[in-house]
């Protein structure tokens, strides 16, 4: 991944500046599975090639008594599943290891990197609080990679799920060249902030803005007034996207826990896409389809973007297209769409 701007490149006049690198491989849906759950693990080979990323989860949602079984199950899956993980694989293989203050994480990293490091692409680290957490993982990975004779560095993905992590979000993004991206962890973050939420990654009907009363009278205040539910996660996603963009890494929505509510799941994922995220977690196969569709630009948007690029010629000045003004800046927005569609088609 190249940095946000290449300061050593000659300044180009009449050509748009290089855009932030989008991930070389699509990661629109990160599908979680529990490697200690035989039913779930058995489905993994059949999902290769149908989902951008499969993630073997070792942390929350895996019982303490199953931590070792999950770790060993993931090693087996990584070794035995064709087309999963590593250079040029049809589907990337990620893992979420246990938290850095847990009794399991040292064994998670040591075992996975030395036994299956060549098949793993990204290590997701939960509950990251600051740059020091990433420095620790970075150093340990370097030692384990050397021990295992790996030639390709493992990338690191941090989950943003504590108030302290939020306060340190910029330094977390820039803590290591291994940093691949950040995900929102809405359940843990809500608890840490003392938010009152009832479904993971969803909204709440009580979080709303009501139309002002017609006047200050008791009748006007009691009269029915329109109210709109607001997005509890807007601030957090926008802040995360800025920090990621500043460091040239990718931002992800995280989980949506109400599996039956596919409509609200799609809304949350689409909001995240429109704000700059490249993907989301999937907790059920039906969320894979939603994420793949929502995090891909529509053919109409790509066709419009190509028209603007063609109309802008050398990339400077302004043109009118369908009654709208396009210029150097709107051209850059269109290039985001075109580059994303080309990357997904590759
Ligand atoms: C995910 O890990 C979350 O806490 O939402
Ligand atoms: Mg969490």
Token digits of residue 137: 């993982």
By most ligand atoms within 8 Å of CB, the mutation choice from 187, 201, 232, 233 for ligand 1 is 187
Measured in Å, residue 57 CA sits from the centre of ligand 1 at 12
Over the chain, what is the mean pLDDT? 93
Strand partners, 53: 30, 92
CB 6 within 8 A of CB 18: yes
pLDDT tens figures, 292-301:
999 999 999 9
* 254 close to ligand 1 (CB < 6 Angstrom): yes
* 188 close to ligand 1 (CB < 6 Angstrom): yes
pLDDT tens figures, 166-215:
999 999 999 999 999 999 999 999 999 999 999 999 999 999 999 999 99
By most ligand atoms within 8 Å of CB, the mutation choice from 32, 159, 166, 201 for ligand 1 is 159
* 35 close to ligand 1 (CB < 6 Angstrom): no
For ligand 2, a single-atom ion, the residues with CB < 5 A are 161, 185, 188
pLDDT tens figures, 201-210:
999 999 999 9
* 187 close to ligand 1 (CB < 6 Angstrom): yes
Measured in Å, residue 323 CA sits from the centre of ligand 1 at 45
Taking residue 294's Cβ as centre, other Cβ atoms within 10 Å add up to 24
Distance of alpha carbon 35 from alpha carbon 177, whole angstroms = 29
Q: What are phi and psi of 312, to 5 degrees?
A: -80, -5
- Say if pTM beats, i.e. exceeds, 0.90: yes
pLDDT > 70: percent of the chain: 93
DSSP assigned state of 198: S
Please report the atom of ligand 1 found closest to the CA of residue 189.
4
* 336 close to ligand 1 (CB < 6 Angstrom): no
pLDDT tens figures, 153-170:
999 999 999 999 999 999
Q: Is the pLDDT of residue 2 over 70?
A: no
179 φ/ψ sector (left φ>0, alpha ψ -120 to 50, else beta): beta
């Amino acid at each position: 991944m190249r940095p946000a701007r290449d300061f050593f490149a000659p300044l180009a006049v009449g050509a748009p500046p290089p855009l932030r690198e989008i991930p070389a491989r699509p990661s629109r849906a990160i599908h979680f599975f529990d490697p200690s759950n035989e039913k779930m693990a058995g489905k993994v080979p059949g999902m290769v090639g149908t989902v951008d990323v499969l993630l073997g989860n070792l942390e929350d949602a895996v019982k303490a008594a199953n931590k070792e079984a999950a770790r060993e199950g993931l090693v087996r899956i990584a070794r035995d599943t064709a087309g999963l993980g590593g250079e040029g694989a049809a589907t990337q293989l990620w893992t979420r290891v246990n938290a850095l203050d847990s009794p399991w994480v040292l064994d998670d990293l040591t075992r996975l990197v030395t036994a299956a490091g060549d098949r793993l692409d990204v290590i997701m680290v939960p509950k990251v609080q600051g740059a020091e957490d990433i420095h620790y993982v970075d150093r340990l990975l370097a030692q384990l990679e050397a021990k295992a004779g790996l030639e390709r560095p493992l990338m690191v993905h941090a989950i943003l799920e504590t108030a302290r992590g939020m306060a340190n979000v910029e330094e977390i993004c820039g803590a290591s060249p291994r940093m691949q991206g950040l995900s929102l962890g809405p359940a843990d973050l809500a608890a840490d902030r003392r938010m009152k939420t009832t479904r993971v990654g969803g909204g709440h009907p009580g979080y709303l803005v009501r139309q002002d009363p017609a006047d200050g009278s008791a009748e006007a205040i009691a009269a029915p007034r329109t109210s709109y539910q607001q997005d509890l996660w807007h601030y957090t996603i926008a802040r995360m996207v800025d920090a990621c963009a500043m460091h040239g890494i990718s931002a992800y929505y995280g989980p949506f826990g109400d599996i039956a509510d596919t409509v609200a799941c799609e809304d949350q994922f689409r909001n995240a896409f429109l704000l700059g995220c490249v993907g989301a977690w999937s907790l059920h196969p039906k969320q894979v389809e939603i994420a793949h569709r929502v995090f891909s630009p529509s053919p109409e948007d790509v066709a419009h973007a190509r028209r603007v690029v063609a109309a802008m010629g050398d990339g400077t000045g302004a043109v009118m297209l369908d009654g709208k003004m396009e210029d150097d800046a709107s051209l850059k927005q269109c290039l985001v769409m075109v580059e994303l569609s080309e990357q997904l088609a590759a």
